[in-house]
Amino acid sequence: MKIGFIGLGIMGRPMAKNIIKKGYTDLLVTDHHQENIDELVACGAKQATEKEIGQTCDVVMTMLPNSPHVKSVMLGESGMVNYMKAGQVFIDMSSINPVASKEIAAELAKKGVEMLDAPVSGGEPKAIDGTLAFMVGGKQEMFDKFKPLLETMGTSVVLCGDVGAGNTTKLANQMIVACNIRAVAEALTLAQMAGVDPQKVYEAIRSGLAGSTVLDAKGTMMIAGNDKPGFKIDLHIKDLTNALDCGHSVGAPMPMTASVREVMEWMHSHEGGGKDHSAIAQYYEYLTGIKIGR
């Protein structure tokens, strides 16, 4: 199987490396940054243009920032739709608006090209160790065929419905994560201001109902004052914006999502957009003058 991989950013690089490690060595890659391409070539991939990928690969995979980027690569003036042919498959692992996923799938279908939308959850650490969670939308037949490929990068690969269902599920995931992170920041701020060690609070509650992957991964970062990005606030703003757009289109009430996005927008405006989303805690530090754990 010849695979094309477009988008070698924070997530895409380790994901592409894991594809190679698991035996899919006929991998063609491209990215806007040559150093990212060089890193993958050193691992055994081959550099190619988007046109070459579209013309020659059995499956084309993208890991790009947002809907406009994916639509440009696939449907733009020199997009993949101009080069791909019946029998090829497109797997988009980007987190985008499900409406855009359906639009892309409809255009590709005119060429006989199948599509899966397969966004991921887990951030950079899980991209590196190959334990991402894939939320997939598309036909059962295509899902069954390409599930082993996705399993080179993740340990959970679930078909959620037709094309668009993967990104709808990812938006739900991002809503829950964002609200959970904010709740952790708020709770640990309360503990600090009430004179209770946030570390002790974390140790006491992590095995109870309040325990979660978010508490373990992000609460500890807040306590340590570590805002090195595993998933940037600006990227989470993008996801929550897509979630709100989707919610508005179907009439879903989303006041919590709107509120936490505003906190992230505040962080963006105060030079925090490039920080890890756990840096929401710094919003509370600004309001109170108190630093969690310090």
Residue-wise DSSP of 104-166? HHHHHHTTT-EEEE--EESHHHHHHHT-EEEEEES-HHHHHHHHHHHTTTEEEEEEEESTTHH
What burial class does residue 195 get, using C-beta atoms within 10 Å of its C-beta: 0-12 exposed, 13-18 middle, 19+ buried? exposed
Supply the pLDDT for residue 183. 98
Residue ranges, the chain, pLDDT below 50:
none
Q: Where in the chain is the domain with CATH 3.40.50.720?
A: 3-162
| Total residues belonging to the chain | 294
Domain ranges in the chain with CATH number 1.10.1040.10? 168-288
- The per-residue pLDDT for 122 is 87
- Predicted confidence at residue 276, as pLDDT, reads 96
Q: Is 218 a catalytic residue?
A: no
State how far the Cα of 168 lies from the Cα of 174, in Å rounded to an integer: 10
Quote the pLDDT of residue 230.
83
CATH topology for the 3-162 domain: Rossmann fold (3.40.50)
Single out the catalytic residue among 126, 170, 218, 232. 170
CA–CA distance from 158 to each of 73, 187, 290 (Å)? 26, 33, 42
CATH of domain 168-288: 1.10.1040.10
Instruction: Determine contact, residues 135/166, Cβ cutoff 8 Å.
Output: yes
Query: 4: which residues sit within 8 A by CB, 6+ positions away?
Result: 27, 28, 29, 30, 48, 53, 54, 56, 57, 59, 60, 61
